[in-house]
């Protein structure tokens, strides 16, 4: 992170002069509770030690100049709807600026340089990190007075209104509210949250990045959300949150088989999140791992957001005696998150690399998880 800070500062000074102020915001992992946030359910994320660093300085105009080090590209844009940027990555920054304005913030023009070390396509939410670092920084630099919960909603609204993804609140919440050494249980209906210390003695938590991302036609993420909303409506509810399997079975004849499977996964996932909270309080990491496997196969068979490569990594984990493994993130590629006893770690990683390379022609990347702080000034 220090090297990235230096690079961002030096690039800012070279392009725009002195005076850039440094901010950072992290990516996230999610132990369990996938695709539950937009269903009003529970999630269990934590911020990580990889994220976005940005140097930002108001420039006293109505124009913005933003340079992305990783893309080696500059975006120039204004602050009205008619002045949207051209590069797609800049939509996130433009959207945050506009959403702060909609909430009464007097956001003016600024110069910025940013870089990131969140692996793209790994399901660690680099987009939320980008939204959150700019939301946090612009809120502070322009004195917008927006509270932290609303900053998370600024990022979510940016996804909805400027990027075409009807996401829930989890990614932005984790990026804003992250706390070193703690996971967070968030109730996405009430927005109540609690920190849970996460220091599993004798276990390692890490990601295996398949380095594949399947591009699917249409909007599979939005389609699944529509399925859930339809079932909730049939049940007479705003969200699937709180629905039971008995209620779902009672309306099975009124919904499609696809909608039934999507809802079955979400209802099961809600109970798994709560069970994991109880297990963590009791220090029962084997129970945590068991629920992780259940989540994976639910996402694979019912929600249908896994892929062959991720299923293969989870099967290898099961065969090696890993305590828990599952797909993490929206799906269709990216990472598995794995909970493994220390004494099994080296053998499992070696086996996973060897077996995956033999099947798919390349090794997965390994990212050890360090639970870290949320958006902040550096």
> Which residues belong to the active site?
171
Tokens at 96, concatenated: 């945050």
Pairing between β-strand 45-58 and β-strand 365-368 as defined by DSSP bridges: unpaired
Neighbours of 160 (CB within 10 A): 15
Closest CA to 150 of 92, 105, 187, 194: 105
**Four-CA torsion 375, 4, 76, 82, nearest 10 degrees:** -30
Residue in the structure block whose two tokens are 């979400």: 266
Q: Give CA separation, 127 vs 38, 64, 132, 165, in Å.
A: 17, 19, 9, 11
CA 306/CA 36 separation, integer angstroms? 16
| Tokens read off for 302 | 């019912």
Q: Rounded to whole angstroms, how far apart are CA atoms 61 and 16? A: 14
> To which residue do tokens 């499977």 refer?
261
- Give the integer Cα–Cα distance in Å for 69 and 48: 21
C-alpha closest to that of 206 among 324, 37, 44: 324
Buried b (16+ CB within 10 A) or exposed e, 101-129: bebebebbbbbbbbbbbbbebbbbbbbbb
Measured over the CA atoms of residue 345, residue 347, residue 349 and residue 351, the dihedral's sign is negative
Do residues 129 and 52 make contact, with C-beta atoms less than 8 angstroms apart?
yes
């Amino acid at each position: 992170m220090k090297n990235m800070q230096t690079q961002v500062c030096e690039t800012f000074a070279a392009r725009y002069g002195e005076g850039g102020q440094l901010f950072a915001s992290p990516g996230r992992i999610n132990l369990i509770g996938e695709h539950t946030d937009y269903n009003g359910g529970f999630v269990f994320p934590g911020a990580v030690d990889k994220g976005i660093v940005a140097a930002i300085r108001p420039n006293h105009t109505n124009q913005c100049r933003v340079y992305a080090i990783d893309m080696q590209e500059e975006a120039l844009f204004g602050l009205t709807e008619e002045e949207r940027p051209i590069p797609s990555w800049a939509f996130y920054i433009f959207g945050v600026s506009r959403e702060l304005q909609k909430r009464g913030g007097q956001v003016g023009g600024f110069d910025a340089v940013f870089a990131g070390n969140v692996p793209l396509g790994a399901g660690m939410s680099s987009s939320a990190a980008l939204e959150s670092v700019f939301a946090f920084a612009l809120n502070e630099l322009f004195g917008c007075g927006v509270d932290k919960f609303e900053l998370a909603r600024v990022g979510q609204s940016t996804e909805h209104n400027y990027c075409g993804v009807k996401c829930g609140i989890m990614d932005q919440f984790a990026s804003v509210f992250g706390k070193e050494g703690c996971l967070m249980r968030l109730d996405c209906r009430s927005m109540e949250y609690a920190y849970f210390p996460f220091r599993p003695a004798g276990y390692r938590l890490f990601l295996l990045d398949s380095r594949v991302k399947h591009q699917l036609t249409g909007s599979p993420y939005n389609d699944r959300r529509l399925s859930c909303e339809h079932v909730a409506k049939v049940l007479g509810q705003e969200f699937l949150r709180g629905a039971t399997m008995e209620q779902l079975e009672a309306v099975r004849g009124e919904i499609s088989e696809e909608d039934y499977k999507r809802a079955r996964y979400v209802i099961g996932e809600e109970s798994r999140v709560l069970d994991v909270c109880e297990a963590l309080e009791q220090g029962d990491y084997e129970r945590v791992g068991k629920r992780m496997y259940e989540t994976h196969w639910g996402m694979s068979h019912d929600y249908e957001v896994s892929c062959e490569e991720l299923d293969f990594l989870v099967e290898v984990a099961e065969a090696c005696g890993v305590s828990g493994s599952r797909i993490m993130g929206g799906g269709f590629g990216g990472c598995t998150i794995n909970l493994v006893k220390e004494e099994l770690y080296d053998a499992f990683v070696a086996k996973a690399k060897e077996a995956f390379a033999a099947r798919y022609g390349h090794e997965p990347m390994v990212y050890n998880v360090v639970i870290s702080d949320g958006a902040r000034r550096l």
